[in-house]
Each structure stands twice: as structure tokens, then as C-alpha cells.
Amino acid sequence: MSLLVVLDHDRGTWSEANDEAMTAAHTLAADMGVQIDVALVGDGALDLSGQARAAGAAVVHVANHPMLTDFGPEAVGETIVQLIGAASPDAVMAVGTSRGNEILAQIAARMDLPFVANCMSVTPGDGAWSITRIQWGGSLLEDTTLVTDGPKLLTYGHHAVLAEAAPAPGAGIVEEFTPDLDGSLARTIVVDRDVQQAGVTLSTASVVVSGGRGVGSAEGFEQLEELADLLGGRVGCSRAVTNLGWRNHTDQVGQTGTRIAPEIYIATGISGAIQHWVGAMASKRILAINIDAEANMVVKADYAVIADLHKVVPAITAEIKRRKGL
């Protein structure tokens, strides 16, 4: 009896999402009354067995095959399907990262089983499992039931669980496994990587200065750039701005953009539509600058200034320069 957790890594570098996966797994496995086994696939996987053991894994399945050196959703999905055949877990889970959801979808498609993506809480039962999952990128929740004769397949929403240290290490018995992969699965294996921008990104910045339609033009963002630079932060924007062509989509905060979690989010000329808000709500503090005191962004913010952003933003920049003697 086991819960199989599909862990992620980048050529032997443990993914931060694994800590969330194992935290969620401890609760779920306890509720199911089963042990936690993990699956690690590909080059460098064996090096992570110690970490998996420390995180509470009873059995560490390490899958090796020449076709698993680089990521391929079909090859990895097929590998886990074969592992499920050999180990018969009662449930299989991952964290709902881009890869996590894709691998579970591949497993579900291959086994023709239901798959519940981005769960918040899971209550196992004898027949149906009761699950609460994320819709609308987190703006809405769905209570759902999962009924299947096969293993239950699910992911937990990325960042839906706060990672905690394992209550105790597991036995960590390493079992190597070589799947039988058809050569045709090479069709979806990564052929090249284009690694870019090191340094501060929107998702890791400690300050994000964002502009919405209220900024009025692409040029209007220069004021925001200057302030963000002074604070070592990044400029963000709303989807209205992306659609107007004022900024690149890589700057977009929200459901279909980037999720941010800065120390402070300065949202200027942004109304705070729900799809924007879900991308910004993990910010530690929010300062809204808006001419409309009723705007959702203002109502939900920690601090607000009810005024024209074109006056307030340069004033902040000037005040910082004055204090720093610049």
C-alpha cells in the first residue's frame, strides 16, 4: 500500500517544489494509511535518493534509460506508467508545476484514468475521494469527487502547501528501474536548451513596480523603470497593458502572466481585476496608487495613495534620491 510521489529535478538538482510535494504527501499518506514512495527519473536522479529518504520516502524508485537524460513528457509519462504497473501504488501525485501537471496528464491519458489537477485538500474515502481544487488560477475553488478503480492521480497546486521539514526520515530503500521505452517517444524529448537571464526576475524580485492602463502609454513606463531601478526591483504590468502593446508579456502579472511574491508590490493605475489579483496576492505588502478610491486594488491593498500616478511616482523617486544624496 503506497502513495507514489513523482519528484522533479534538473539533472540532479533538487527542485524546490519537491519540498511542497513531500509535505503534502505526508498528510495524504497518513490519511490513506499507506507509506510514501517516490519516483525520480533521469540523469542525476540517483544522487537525490538521500534527500528523498530524508524527506520521508520509504522506497526511492530511480528510473534510468538513455531516453531519460533530457526531459520528454511522453517518455517520462510512459516510464511512470510502467512503474505503476510494477509497484501498484494506490495513488500517484506531484506538485502542479508546468511539468508536474503535464506528467500526470500523460499518465492519465495513457491509463485512461481521471486526473485531478491543482488540489488544495484531499480527503480519501473507500469509494469516492472528496477533493477541493483550484479553478481560475486560484480565484475560485471547486469541490469535486474522484471515483476510479485504478490509482488516484492528482497534483497539488504549486504553492498551495507550505513546505515543512519531514516528521522523520523514511527507510529510503533505493530500487532502480529500467523502463522499456519505444524509440518513437524520442519525438518529444528536449533537443536544445536556451538558458537566459540570470539575476532578478519578476517572480523573484523583492520589489515590483507595476503599471496598468492608467499609465497611459508605453513611454509612461519610463517613470516606473526609474523607480524600479532605484529599488533594485522589476517593472510589471497588467494584461490591459500587454494587449495594448505597451509592454512585453514577460512583464505581465496575473493568472496568465507571472505570479509574484515581492516584499512590496507597488501597483499604479491598475484596477485590480481578479485575474490580476491572483498573480499579486502573495506579495508581502501592496501599495496601490490610483485615482479611484473604490478600485479593487485600493480596497485590497495595505497602503494606498489616491492620486495621479504621474505625479506620485516621480515624487517617490525624487524623495529617495534626496535621502540618498543622489
Partner 1 sequence: MNILVCVKRVPAPGSKINVTSDGMAVDAAHLGFTTSPHEECALEEAVQITERDGGQVTVLTLGPVEAEEQLRYAASVGAHKIILVPTDGSAWDPQRTASALTEAIQTAEEANNQPFELILFGNESADSGGFQVGVRVAHKLGRPIVNAIKGIDPSDCAVTARREIDAGFEVYNVPTPAVLGVKEGINLPRYPTMKGRLASKKAELTNAEITAKAGGQTLVRLHRPAEQASNTEILGTDESAAVAIVDILEEIGVC
Ligand X SMILES: Cc1cc2nc3c(=O)[nH]c(=O)nc-3n(C[C@H](O)[C@H](O)[C@H](O)COP(=O)(O)OP(=O)(O)OC[C@H]3O[C@@H](n4cnc5c(N)ncnc54)[C@H](O)[C@@H]3O)c2cc1C
CA 209: distance to chain centroid?
22
Q: Does 223 bind partner 1 (CB under 8 A)?
A: no
Q: Does 309 bind ligand X (CB under 6 A)?
A: yes
Q: Does 218 bind partner 1 (CB under 8 A)?
A: no
Single out the segment in contact with ligand X by CB under 6 A; choices: 52-60, 73-81, 286-294, 315-323.
286-294
194 binds, among ligand X, partner 1, none (CB under 5 to 8 A by kind): partner 1
DSSP reduced 3-state for 173: strand
- Shortest distance in whole angstroms from residue 253 CB to ligand X: 6
CA 138: distance to chain centroid?
12
- Shortest distance in whole angstroms from residue 173 CB to partner 1: 32
How many chain residues are in contact with ligand X, going by CB under 6 A?
28
Compute the distance between CA of residue 247 and CA of residue 172 in angstroms, rounded to an integer.
49
Cα dist from 16 to 65, 152, 153, 164, whole Å: 24, 24, 21, 12
- Shortest distance in whole angstroms from residue 239 CB to partner 1: 8
Q: Does 273 bind ligand X (CB under 6 A)?
A: yes
Out of 30, 147, 173, 291, which residue is the one contacting ligand X (CB under 6 A)?
Answer: 291
In the shown chain, the binding pattern of residues 3 to 42 toward partner 1, with x for contact by CB under 8 A and - for none, equals ----------------------------------------
Cα dist from 24 to 55, 168, 245, whole Å: 11, 14, 40
* Structural contact between residues 216 and 223, judged by C-beta atoms closer than 8 angstroms: no
Q: Does 98 bind partner 1 (CB under 8 A)?
A: yes
* Structural contact between residues 95 and 156, judged by C-beta atoms closer than 8 angstroms: yes
Cα dist from 310 to 139, 219, 253, 260, 315, whole Å: 31, 12, 21, 24, 9
Strand duo 303-306 + 129-135: pairing:
unpaired
Which residues, in sequence order, are bridge partners of residue 88?
none
Q: Does 210 bind ligand X (CB under 6 A)?
A: no
Q: Does 229 bind partner 1 (CB under 8 A)?
A: no
- 230 to 269, contacts with ligand X by CB under 6 A? 238-241, 252-257, 269
139 binds, among ligand X, partner 1, none (CB under 5 to 8 A by kind): partner 1
DSSP reduced 3-state for 162: coil
136's CB contacts (< 8 A; 6+ apart) are 255, 274, 275, 278
Residue 238 is classified by DSSP as -
Residue 2 or 275: the one with the smaller Cβ distance to ligand X is 275
Q: Does 245 bind partner 1 (CB under 8 A)?
A: yes
Interface residue list for ligand X (CB under 6 A): 212-214, 238-241, 252-257, 269-271, 273, 275-276, 279, 289-292, 295, 308-310
